Amino acid sequence: MSANATTPILKVSSLNGFTAGVRVSGQDVEASPPQLHGGTISSVWSDGSAIVKWDPGFSLVAEGHLVENGRVNLHHLQRMS
C-alpha cells in the first residue's frame, strides 16, 4: 500500500475485480490458528487497498494484523459468494 511521491493514491471505482459494496472475507494469517473475518468494501484505492466495514466481532488484534492506515491490502481479501 505504498506509492512513490509522484503517484497520488486515488479512490477508484474498481480494481482487480473489487468494488464498493462487495462482501469480502479477510484472512488473518498472523492469528493462531488463522482466522477469517467478514466485511463489506466501502471504497477501493489505486494503491491496491480498500476500506472495509467489518462485521461485528472483528477484534482489535485482527485489525492490527490486517488494517494499515485505515485500509486493507486487497491481497488479504477474497470476494464472498
**What CA–CA distance (Å, rounded) separates 30 from 12?**
29
Nearest 10 degrees: Cα torsion 34, 26, 75, 62: -60
Domain-by-domain residue ranges, the chain?
A: 11-79
Tens digits of residue pLDDT in 30-72: 999 999 999 999 999 999 999 999 999 999 999 999 999 999 9
Q: What angle do CA 41, 12, 62 make, to 5 degrees?
A: 30
Tens digits of residue pLDDT in 18-27: 999 999 999 9
Pick the CATH number of 11-79 from 2.60.40, 1.10.357, 1.10.150, 2.30.30: 2.30.30
**What CA–CA distance (Å, rounded) separates 69 from 51?**
10
